[in-house]
Amino acid sequence: MTILTSLLGTKALSLLVFLWQEAATTPAGEGAGIENQFTITEMLKHLGGIALAVVIILLIMSVYSVAIMVERYLTYRAAKQQSREFAPRVAQALKNDRIEEAINISDRHKKSHLAMVVNSGLQEFRAHEQSTEISGDEIEASKRALQRAIAIKTAEFKRGLSGLATIGSTAPFVGLFGTVFGIINAFQGMKNAESAGIAAVAGGISEALFTTALGIGVAIPAVWLFNYFTSKVQGFVVEMDNSASELIDYFIKNSSTRQLKP
């Protein structure tokens, strides 16, 4: 794929150099007409069927990626804000051994990733709260409940990111597909006109340049946002792991305290 891209890039560059040389020798009146063909409006009007299909596909990919970006941004911001409110409140409740209050606080912060993890562990731990002694198996059951909650929330945070990655990696090649047919149309126009003037290849080369630029324009923000959102998810996973570890420490400490009571 890299070799194909390099070959096509070299061919396109050679053709552009040729066109530039032809444009330099084109009469002023003719050049003014050619210049008008390279406006956005004129290029869209003269797009071929394949180039138009490529543009539509790229626009659909762009709309889809923007929708994912907005939805993920709002989701991550809500999770961060609610977690900031949740953490000190639940910490104070657990410090005073008020497990039921901590669960109620977790229920009120539905969008917080920390609340979901803590709630799962506390629900499992509460099932054995009435026991005079909490065994190691019960602690392990709480650990597994926390791990399941972390896995579920991580998968939820990653939803849609694979679509961004796919768009970021394939959009340039979709544009390149249009570029190939644009260059083909340029040479066909040259052949049909039986001349080497710039007017014969202007339409085809405009298709090639437009689809290439559009493909790159769709891919760049998708790649940027994918990397940014991936780093955010990794940060959320670290926070959930830390909260789960602290909660397990609380369970162990609570179990030890009960064993020491007469």
pLDDT tens for 19-53 read 445 444 444 444 444 444 556 566 656 666 777 88
Of 201 and 250, more confident: 250
pLDDT of 191 strictly over 60: yes
Whether 178 and 50 have beta carbons less than 8 Å apart is answered as yes
**How confident is the model over 137-145, as a mean pLDDT?**
79
The token pair at 227 is 């990397």
pLDDT band at residue 143 under the 50/70/90 scheme: confident
In a domain? residue 234: yes
The pLDDT, as a whole number, for residue 50 is: 78
Of 227 and 47, more confident: 227
For residue 98, the 8-state DSSP code is -
pLDDT of 205 strictly over 50: yes
In a domain? residue 115: yes
pLDDT of 258 strictly over 60: no
Task: Name the range with the highest mean pLDDT among 1-10, 90-99, 220-229.
Answer: 220-229
The token pair at 16 is 């552009």
Q: Which residues are CB-neighbours of 19 under 8 A, at least 6 positions away?
A: 198, 201, 205
In a domain? residue 182: yes
In a domain? residue 62: yes
> Structure pTM?
0.72
In a domain? residue 147: yes
Average per-residue pLDDT for the chain: 76
Of 33 and 221, more confident: 221
**How confident is the model over 179-205, as a mean pLDDT?**
65
Q: What is the dihedral of CA 109, 127, 243, 99, to 10 degrees?
A: 60
pLDDT of 231 strictly over 90: yes
Identify the weakest region by mean pLDDT among 56-65, 112-121, 200-209: 200-209
The pLDDT, as a whole number, for residue 40 is: 59
The percent of residues above 90 in pLDDT, for the chain, comes to: 29
pLDDT of 225 strictly over 90: yes
Number of domains in the chain: 1
In a domain? residue 146: yes
**How confident is the model over 187-207, as a mean pLDDT?**
62
Q: Which residues are CB-neighbours of 258 under 8 A, at least 6 positions away?
A: 132, 133, 134
> How far is it, in rounded angstroms, from Cα 234 to Cα 142?
23
Of 138 and 180, more confident: 180
In a domain? residue 237: yes
The pLDDT, as a whole number, for residue 26 is: 46
Whether 219 and 171 have beta carbons less than 8 Å apart is answered as yes
Q: Provide the residue range defining the domain that includes 171.
A: 39-260
Of 11 and 1, more confident: 11
In a domain? residue 9: no
